[in-house]
Structures are given as structure tokens and as C-alpha cells.
Amino acid sequence: MEGRSLLVARMPLAARDVVDFSRWRFFTGEEWAPEAGRAVSLFEGAAREMSVSFLPGRGRFLAVYSYCGLSADVLGRLARNPEGPWGRPATLYRCPESKWNKDYFCYAGKAHPELAHGDNEVVITYAANSWNEKDHERDLRIYWPRFVRAVGGSD
């Protein structure tokens, strides 16, 4: 499923008011412009709920997300700059809960580098849920955050 694009915007730290959109600038692929409509897609398959973190030990930014928002696959991509170019996606973890029941799904993949033990590890979280409300009463394994240590390879 394509169509979920990652865009990037920035604003001056001195602005202090993030809701003052007049100070935001959007990356057009060549420059930073005040018009959001000129922003370019950095990559497809992004999620509404994801993380982008700087990894000092690697000197790279890491984007972590559940593919298109709802997926058993938690993906990661690396880039030297927030505006990219972003590398190819790598599967950091495959959520087993989506196989437990036809109504179960996973979402909200994110990285938490502050919890890692060293530069070659990333701690990711995600959530598992069900489309069937009764499953929340029957199966207490769902609908709470999961923490997973993922060991990275070379970039």
C-alpha cells in the first residue's frame, strides 16, 4: 500500500510557538519553502504515528514505523539528514500477534534510542490490538505496549 508519504518541516527554535505555522518551512527537494503544498515525499509507506531519532554513534537519523500505519512489519530507514535521502526500508521486527487471531493487528512502531544498550541496538515499541471489542476482555495479551530490542547491522 503506497500513498502514506513522509514530509519534513522545520522552524526556528527561537519561535517557541509550534502552532505559529507562518514560521514553518517545508523541504521541496531543493530548498525550504513556506508553502506546505510544495513539500516533496521523502519516502512512501510512512505512518501517522512513527519516530525519527538521531543516532549519535552512527551519525544517522533513524525512521521507525509500522508500514503504512497498520502492519506486522516494523520497518527502519537511515539517513544522514532529516530531509534524506532515506535508505531502503529494513524489517526491524515482525509482530507475532497479528497471527494469533484474524482480527488482530499491529501498529505504532517507534524507536527509543535512549533505552538502547550501545550504538548497535535500538529499542522499538509497538502496539497490538483487535478489530473485535470483545477480544479486549477475552485476551489480556493485547492492547498494551510491546518493547523489543533490535540489533542493527551496517548501513
In a structure prediction context, what are the per-residue pLDDT tens digits for the chain, which is 155 residues long?
Answer: 455 889 999 988 776 777 778 889 999 999 999 999 999 999 999 999 999 999 988 899 999 999 988 999 999 999 999 999 999 999 999 999 999 999 999 999 999 999 988 887 899 999 999 999 999 899 999 988 999 998 665 55
Whether residue 60 lies inside any domain: the answer is yes
pLDDT at residue 2, rounded to an integer: 57
User: Looking at the domain assignment, is residue 4 inside a domain?
Assistant: no
**Based on the structure, what is the number of domains in the chain?**
1
Rounded Cα gap, residues 68 and 48, in angstroms = 8
Q: In a 10 Å sphere around its CB, with 0-12 CB exposed, 13-18 middle and 19+ buried, how is residue 111 labelled?
A: buried
Domain assignment of residue 100, yes or no: yes
Kindly provide the residue ranges of all beta strands, DSSP E only, lying in 2-155, ordered along the sequence.
5-6, 9-10, 25-27, 32-33, 43-44, 50-55, 60-66, 73-79, 90-94, 104-111, 121-130, 145-151
Those residues whose C-beta lies under 8 Å from the C-beta of residue 136, and which sit 6 or more positions away, are: 130, 142, 143
Domain-located, residue 124: yes
Does residue 123 fall inside a structural domain? yes
The answer to whether residue 134 sits within a structural domain is: yes
Give the C-alpha distances (Å, rounded to integers) separating 135 from 100, 104, 105, 113, 130. Answer: 11, 9, 12, 32, 7
Residue 106 lies in a domain: yes
Specify if 50 maps to a domain.
Answer: yes
The predicted pLDDT at position 129 comes to 95
Domain carrying residue 60: 43-151
